[in-house]
Chain A
Amino acid sequence: MRFLSEFRDPSLANAWVRRIEAHLSGLQAPLPIMEFCGGHTHAIFRYGLHQILPSAIEWVHGPGCPVCVLPRAAIDLACTLAQDPAVILASFGDAVRVPGSSGSLLSAKAQGGDVRIVYSPLDALEIARRHPEREVVFLAIGFETTQPATALTILQAEREGIANFSVLCRHVITEAAIRAVLADPDVRLAGVIAPGHVATVLGANAFAFIPKEYRIPTVVSGFEPLDLLQALCLLLGQLAAGRCALDNQYRRSVRPQGNLAAQKAIAQVFEPIGSAEWRGLGRLPASGVRIKERYGRFDAERRFGVTAQTVEEEPLPCSQVLCGKLKPKACPYFGTRCHPEQPLGALMVSSEGACAAWYRYQGE
């Protein structure tokens, strides 16, 4: 397939690995490199990059899987709404298995809740068109990559005057999570691989703060194996030359300023909130958005008069893994109390979670 298969060419991959090896000769090992995005984590394991690369490269898996950072309280709220017989709760497939305090959306479905998996918020809106007698609530999660889709859906619902559609908004802001990790004095990184699809929306420049403020070389990368190898090469090139800057490997999709129309849709519908709860990271400042008053009738929390209850999170080692301080395998629950069929922590839920990726591709 175009723009995919050519980025998976094994002989080119080998050439890049040799190039990386050459760069490494002048650098001091180990080199901890954080890939922030769960899509990168998944690609690294799926294509076995951790196996073909020299061991001096140490991948540190960051908190960039929106499913993994979804707090228990958000799942509880979605489950409560799903139990209302008037409601159809629409969610991305990844989110339905995330454990809340007393079950997941999947278990709410087993108990009779009408939970439907959708590929896009626009599909949830289509369900609302087809079922005017029901209330359709879309559980909106994700970073800035996903926010434009939710925003455009709300704008479309408004244009059509669709009265039975609303959104449980749990979108989060990438920069806040990156800052939370980088501010931790225990986290020491030689380089950062920045998320290519968030950058597609916000622009490569949105990540310039990492080299500038935290003095860590950063490369925006695509998601195919050759993308990641090339990004790594650019990163090592910076280190070898003693540079600390922002490079953009994913030029076929990412422009310096991003996608202005998508940014405009986000700004029109959402506004930032003071702080938001992240599973594993706690409350982070300037890390969430809510639906603006002007579109308040599409906000499920306002519409149903419900608010999330704070729930005690069981102290799990997940937060350590999220910040790259603990390897998944080192968690005492890994593969015992916690495995993909029965996830205890959220990092085991989505295939982009560090623990699930380890479990699946390392055969341990």
Chain B
Amino acid sequence: MCLGVPGKIVAITDPERQLGAVDIGGVRREVNLSCVLEEGERLQDLIGEWVVVHVGVALSRIDQEAALWLDALPE
């Protein structure tokens, strides 16, 4: 239920409702982007960003650098 899936923002589809198209494993879904928009940022700037999507809402931007730390096995 609390599943969140990674996807890439590929277009802004409805600026008024802050909706964009997110490519989730090859499937495009319309997603609310309001929670990942930083202050002073334009919706357009989000294109190309990776986000975690849950029930139609982007809940976080994926920090690509933080994603890498997994490769580094401790010791």
B45 to chain A, nearest CB (A): 15
A270 to chain B, nearest CB (A): 15
Q: Is the CB of B55 within 8 A of A259?
A: no
With A119-B56, A259-B35, A261-B34 in contact, is A3–B4 under 8 Å at CB? Answer: no
Q: Is the CB of B6 within 8 A of A4?
A: yes
Interface residues on B, range: 35 or more
Nearest 3 Cβ contacts at the A-B interface: A120-B56, A251-B66, A3-B6
Q: Is the CB of A198 within 8 A of B2?
A: yes
B36 to chain A, nearest CB (A): 8
Q: Which residues from chain B contact A226 at a C-beta distance below 8 Å?
A: 70
B59 at the interface (CB under 8 A from A): yes
With A121-B55, A146-B2 in contact, is A19–B73 under 8 Å at CB? Answer: yes
Task: With CB as the reference atom, state the residue of chain B lying closest to A198.
Answer: B2
Interface residues on A, range: 35 or more
Q: Is the CB of B56 within 8 A of A149?
A: yes
CA distance A94 to B5 in the complex (A): 17
With A1-B25, A145-B4, A149-B56 in contact, is A252–B73 under 8 Å at CB? Answer: no
CA distance A199 to B5 in the complex (A): 15
Q: Which residues from chain A contact B17 at a C-beta distance below 8 Å?
A: 156
Partner of A120, one of B37, B57, B66, B69: B57
Task: With CB as the reference atom, state the residue of chain A lying closest to B62.
Answer: A252
A29 to chain B, nearest CB (A): 22
Q: Which of B2, B30, B35, B50 has the most CB of A within 10 A?
A: B2
Partner of B55, one of A19, A119, A198, A352: A119
B72 to chain A, nearest CB (A): 10
Those of B44-74 within 8 Å (CB) of chain A: 50, 52, 54-57, 59-60, 62-64, 66-67, 69-71, 73-74
Q: Is the CB of A252 within 8 A of B56?
A: no
Q: Is the CB of B6 within 8 A of A146?
A: no
Q: Is the CB of A223 within 8 A of B57?
A: no
Q: Is the CB of A146 within 8 A of B54?
A: yes
CA distance A67 to B74 in the complex (A): 37
A142 at the interface (CB under 8 A from B): yes
Partner of A3, one of B2, B37, B59, B62: B62
CA distance A141 to B1 in the complex (A): 9
A156 to chain B, nearest CB (A): 6
CA distance A156 to B25 in the complex (A): 28
A209 at the interface (CB under 8 A from B): no
With A197-B2, A253-B4 in contact, is A230–B55 under 8 Å at CB? Answer: no
Q: Is the CB of B3 within 8 A of A39?
A: yes
Task: With CB as the reference atom, state the residue of chain A lying closest to B54.
Answer: A145
Those of A129-145 within 8 Å (CB) of chain B: 141-143, 145
Q: Is the CB of B52 within 8 A of A352?
A: no
Q: Is the CB of B1 within 8 A of A92?
A: yes
Partner of B1, one of A19, A39, A233: A39
Q: Is the CB of A65 within 8 A of B32?
A: no
